[in-house]
Every structure is written in C-alpha cells, then in structure tokens.
Amino acid sequence: MNLITEDSPLILVADDDKVTRACLRQAMEQEGYRVIEANDGESCLATFTRTQPDVVLLDAVMPIMDGFTCCNKLKDLDPEQRTPILMITALEDAESVNHAFESGAVDFVTKPIHWAVLYQRVRRLIKQVRLYAELERANQELKRLATSDGLTQVANRRHFDEYLDQEWQRSQREQAPLSLLLCDIDFFKPFNDTYGHQSGDECLQKIAALLQEAAKRSLDLAARYGGEEFAIILPNTDLEGAEQVAQDIQTNLQDLAIPHRKSQVGEIVTISMGVATTIPVPFIAPRMLIEAADRALYQAKDSGRNCYRT
C-alpha cells in the first residue's frame, strides 16, 4: 500500500455506477493516489473546476451528460489539455473508440477493467503530468532569468527594449499616450567610494525595489537601464500621470532615507529623473522617447539634482 499524502496525485473518477466507482477508488488509493468522485458528466465538470485533478477516469455512458459530451466540455475548462482524460467504457465498437479520442480522451480502457492495464496507464499519465509541470516550471525560471537583471531583479535592458517596442506599437494603434521615466542616482560614484561597492549594490537593490513598487499598474515596467540608471515604461499614461509617478518616487525615496554623507544635495541618497510622454506616430522610433527623457534627465541634473524635469 502506497502512502497517500496531500501531495499525492489526485484522480477524478466519474462513473454513474456506485460499485465501479468504489472499485476504482480502492484501486487508485492502493496506488497511493487521492481520489475524488463524480456520478455524472455535469458533476464531473463542476468537480474538475473545483479540485483541478491530475488525471480524469471517465465513464462513457452516464445519465444527464454522457462521457463524450463531458470530455468535450472539459476541453473548454482546460484549453491546453494539461489534465489527461482516460475513458473507461464497455463500448468497444470502432465508432465509440474514435468518438472517445475525438472528444479529447488521451487513452482508453475497456470494461470489464483489466486492472494491471489500468494501473500501468494511469502511472504513465501521472508521470507525463509531473514531467510537464516540471518543464513548465523550468521554462518559467529560464524566462525570468532571461528577462530580469541579476542584481536588482527588475527587468533587464533587453526586456526593456523589447517591451518599449511592443508598447510603442500598441500605443500607436490605439492612439494612447505612452510615458517614459529615466532615473539616475545622484552622486553615486562618491557613494561607492564612501561606503564600498557592496553597499553600492545594496543601494541599487533598494532603489530598484522602490521603482518596482512605483510601477504598480499591470502594464507598467520598471527596468535597469544601465549601471545606476533605471527606467519605467508607463503605457496609457499622460504627462500628468507620469509626473505623479515621479513625485511618488521622490516622496518614497525621501522616506527610505538611505544615508549618503557625501551627497551634495543632502545627507541621503536622491535621484534625478527625466519624464517624457508621446502619442506615437508612424515613422518615428521609440528611440525618440528615450532621447526626450534623457534630455529631461540632463536638465534635472543641471538644475541641482534630486528633482524631475519634463
């Protein structure tokens, strides 16, 4: 008997026959799987949504909603068909077999059930499900690594470039304003010289986290643009909205109060920002927006730092 824990695979058994359900439950529990039952197609769909099982064992002939219809509807609930459906049925004619596969079942077992065959098939399906989940996790991790900056965890430059292009095109289609904020830490070289490179790195992490917080709408993107320069892409945001974000950043940075005794604008770390907004038009590249924000940033530095300019 295999030990059942809450991490054990969950098998949804849908069959209108109580005795068959009991036998299937016993067999699956013996394999160490958790089991949940449904006695017709409709309750199978509801139970599927509620419990997100790993595998479905589905009877073909049931009242209210038969297994084929149920199988088809499960596809809508699980468009990528991550949860394999194994049909169990006494119907063995070619038409029923074809119907089962066409409805989305990945496998087929006939009644009376050949238990050794069922065990092997379910084991194989569980293995596939686990492998698929692992691959998906690995893919997500790879994507995260490829798009984020290792030190600060915000988006990296490459992701920034791609996202700006994408949002530029979308904003152009929708004739929506697109804003860009460029941020540069004030007197960061003296900070490194005073507190050491390690503290400099920690300062970058704190500021990145603060900017990430400021990029709070789902389409906003905070990125590390260069060494101690960051950028925030603000789609669907006009100049007034972008200035509000810049003001919030300044307030929060003031509250964060990272000590910097060699700063020439106070005793704490400050940043200067350049803000630019446009409604993109054809034949003009996103580069324009970056240049405008860069010019504004330069003006902010020129006007004494610890401020933003537009």
31 is annotated as an active-site residue: no
59 binds, among Mg ion, ligand GH3, none (CB under 5 to 8 A by kind): Mg ion
Catalytic entry in 31, 37, 167, 228:
228
Two tokens at 143? 């994507």
Q: How far apart are CA 110 and CA 61, in angstroms?
A: 12
- Please count the CA atoms within 13 angstroms of the CA of 292 that sit on its side-chain side: 16
Site for Mg ion in 27-86 (CB under 5 A): 59, 61-62
**Strand arrangement of the beta sheet that strand 271-278 belongs to:** 221-226, 229-235, 178-185, 271-278, 308-309
123 binds, among ligand GH3, Mg ion, none (CB under 5 to 8 A by kind): none
Site for ligand GH3 in 195-214 (CB under 6 A): 197, 200-201, 204
Tell me: does residue 305 bind ligand GH3 (CB under 6 A). Answer: yes
Instruction: Report the candidate in 253, 245, 181, 251 with the shortest Cα–Cα distance to residue 210.
Output: 253
What is the x/- site pattern for ligand GH3, positions 150-179, by CB under 6 A? -x----------------------------
The contacts of residue 292 (CB under 8 Å, 6+ apart) are 180, 274, 276, 278
88 binds, among Mg ion, ligand GH3, none (CB under 5 to 8 A by kind): none
Alpha helices in the chain (DSSP H): 18-30, 41-51, 67-77, 94-102, 115-147, 157-174, 188-195, 197-214, 239-256, 287-302
Q: How far is the CB of 251 from Mg ion (least distance, A)?
A: 20
- The span of 28-36, 110-118, 178-186, 202-210 binding Mg ion (CB under 5 A) equals 178-186
Q: How far apart are CA 211 and CA 170, in angstroms?
A: 23
16 versus 42: smaller Cβ distance to Mg ion: 16
- The span of 8-16, 113-121, 134-142, 185-193 binding ligand GH3 (CB under 6 A) equals 185-193
Q: How far is the CB of 19 from Mg ion (least distance, A)?
A: 11
16 binds, among ligand GH3, Mg ion, none (CB under 5 to 8 A by kind): Mg ion
CB 56 within 8 A of CB 85: yes
Q: How far apart are CA 307 and CA 271, in angstroms?
A: 7
Two tokens at 10? 């969950």
Q: Which DSSP string corresponds to 126-167?
A: HHHHHHHHHHHHHHHHHHHHHHB-TTT-SB-HHHHHHHHHHH
Q: How far is the CB of 303 from ligand GH3 (least distance, A)?
A: 12
Q: Which DSSP string corresponds to 222-269?
A: EEEEETTEEEEEEET--HHHHHHHHHHHHHHHHHH--B-TT-TTSSB-
Tell me: does residue 107 bind ligand GH3 (CB under 6 A). Answer: no
Tell me: does residue 16 bind Mg ion (CB under 5 A). Answer: yes
The single residue among 54, 167, 184, 220 that binds Mg ion, judged by CB under 5 A, is 184
16 versus 161: smaller Cβ distance to Mg ion: 16
CB 49 within 8 A of CB 55: no
Site size toward ligand GH3 (CB under 6 A) is 16
Site for Mg ion in 256-285 (CB under 5 A): none
Q: How far is the CB of 189 from Mg ion (least distance, A)?
A: 7
- Residues lying near Mg ion in the complex (CB under 5 A) are found at 16, 59, 61-62, 184-185, 188
- Residues lying near ligand GH3 in the complex (CB under 6 A) are found at 151, 184-189, 192, 197, 200-201, 204, 227-228, 301, 305
Q: Which residues are catalytic?
A: 228
